[in-house]
Amino acid sequence: MQKKYIVILIVVLLSFAVILLHNKKSAEKYITRDISKGTITQYVEASGTIKPINTIAVGTQVSGTVAKIYVDYNSQVKAGQLLAELDPSLFQANVDQSTAKLSNAQASLAKAQAALAYKKNNYQRYQHLYQKNYVSRDDVELARSNYLAAEADLAAARAEVSASQASLNNNLTNLGYSKITSPVDGTVISRAVDVGQTVAASFNTPTLFEVAKDLTQMQIETSVSEADIGKIKVGQKAEYTLDGYQDKIFEGTVTQVRLASTTTNNVVTYTVIVSVDNSDGFAIPGMSANVSIITGQVKDVLCVENKALKFTPSDNTQKYENQGIWIMTKTGPQRYDVELGLSDDNKTQIISDKIKEKDKVIVGSTGGKKNSKKTNSGMRRPPM
């Protein structure tokens, strides 16, 4: 009989053990992280192209054949330096012809001046003789007519001199245009002609060279979508990478937000200019740049992982209007309302007087009911 009671007691104890083991396995276990302070930075991503801030297109205002070229790609040039020459023979011939015409016009002017002086004296002499009744009135009128005609001839001769001088000046200018010079100090980044090539400037000015004024100061022309353009302001800092230096991060500054939009396949974008310091010479015109414009940043603030904002214990069915997080306390999980600040892809700033650094925030759980992954109903998602 005693042995029977012992067997029953063993069975009861085993049953209790099985129940306790089952409850232990089904209990919800919480995954926590220490709340810490850190830096959160928000970015607007964009892509663009490296370009010189000031690029001068050097062309020619006259047509002709390229006779000489004195520079090439990457040549350093000074303002006024000779870059190329067109064949000057035709321009020089026009100058010589204009010079001859001017000399002829000046000779005609001198002849007209002499004729005027003679006819003026003759007219005055006839007036004197007429007063003494030595000549008739008709003789005086004829002398006066010749004098006035001589004045007109002199005016015409002077006009001819002016026209010849203007023609000479024009041909001298064209002769000067046959020498292509750099308007600024800089670097030749493009050369579009070769010796022997004919350039025509009949309707527009052909570009022969492109000179970048200063390659130590560059800019990135980026395209930003209409959804993000409202976040961009002049003066914001930017970080960018170049495909040729993927392990290096460069810095720049937003200097211009252009109001003109571009629509491509129903996608509206705006051009944002990011100025960069290229003193080290890493950036080369035409390079592609991946730009991150910093639109917001906070330092040394309390942060939690973003998934902590979505966690709710599986046995909690209450709905909350405010955003909150669950902190593991000595008595178990406890919820605290928090205000959200800036957020990035991994963490979010929280603002609360009741939460401090090193508190254990619950970010997930294992075991428990199947609905342990539900989110707080009525709570907004963290800003991204």
- 206-242 residue pLDDT tens: 889 999 988 889 999 999 999 999 999 999 999 999 9
The per-residue pLDDT for range 129-139, each reduced to its tens digit, is: 989 888 899 99
CB 197, CB 66: distance < 8 Å: yes
The per-residue pLDDT for range 287-343, each reduced to its tens digit, is: 999 999 999 999 999 999 999 999 988 888 888 889 999 999 988 899 999 999 998
Name the residue with tokens 């639109």.
295
User: The dihedral of CA 356, 324, 342, 243: what is its sign?
Assistant: positive
Residue 381 has what pLDDT?
A: 42
* pLDDT higher than 60, residue 20: no
The 8-class DSSP code of residue 383 comes to P
Q: What average pLDDT is seen over the chain? A: 87
161 contact partners, CB below 8 Å, separation of at least 6: 102, 105, 106, 108, 109
Residue 151 has what pLDDT?
A: 94
Q: Is the pTM of this model over 0.75?
A: no
Residue 5 has what pLDDT?
A: 60
Q: What is the three-class DSSP state of 182? A: coil
